[in-house]
Amino acid sequence: MVNRGELDNERAIVHDLVEELGFEAVCSESRSASELSVEAKFLQDVKDSDILVGIFGIRDSQPSRKECRTAKSYGKPILLFVKEFSRKRKPTLENLKGMRRRRTGVVYDKFRLVTELRSQVHDALIESITINFRKAFTGVN
């Protein structure tokens, strides 16, 4: 799942990367009409996704935080990427910053350029998929 925000170009890059790797990218922009409320739909999308990828700018939203909490409660890997700006970022997701990949399934990285973002997301996805494959088929972390 790719989080929606003010970073249209960055979201498009990640969407394309996920599709290039042969996976389905579920994004806010691609949601179809549903009988569920908007919140219930995006939380259901998180529950149904294998990995949550969040891309954030200056601030995040209450729905973004709910997506992260939902992914965490369902044991989904959470890959968060925060664009560095000259302005200070509001620190609402900073509590996830100290978590490390192998023990928690959470990645928290910062980027400045879309090329950096693409590389970081690629590496984090491959690592997450590899870890989950090992867990599922060998029981080894």
Q: What is the pTM of this model?
A: 0.81
Contact 41, 50 (CB under 8 A): no
Torsion, CA 127, CA 102, CA 11, CA 56, rounded to 10: -160
Contact 73, 47 (CB under 8 A): no
DSSP string, 71-115: HHHTT--EEEEEE--SSPPP-TTGGGTT--HHHHSEEEEEESSHH
Whole-number pLDDT of residue 141: 57
Whole-number pLDDT of residue 7: 85
Whole-number pLDDT of residue 86: 64
Whole-number pLDDT of residue 137: 85
pLDDT tens digits, residue range 52-67?
A: 999 988 777 888 889 9
24 φ, ψ to 5°? Answer: -90, 125
Name residues of the chain where pLDDT drops below 50. Answer: 2, 4-5, 98, 100
- Beta-carbon count within 10 A of 111 CB: 18
Top-tier CATH class for 8-138 = alpha beta
Q: Which residues contact 74 (CB under 8 A, 6 or more apart)?
A: 46, 47
Q: Where are the domains positioned within the chain? A: 8-138
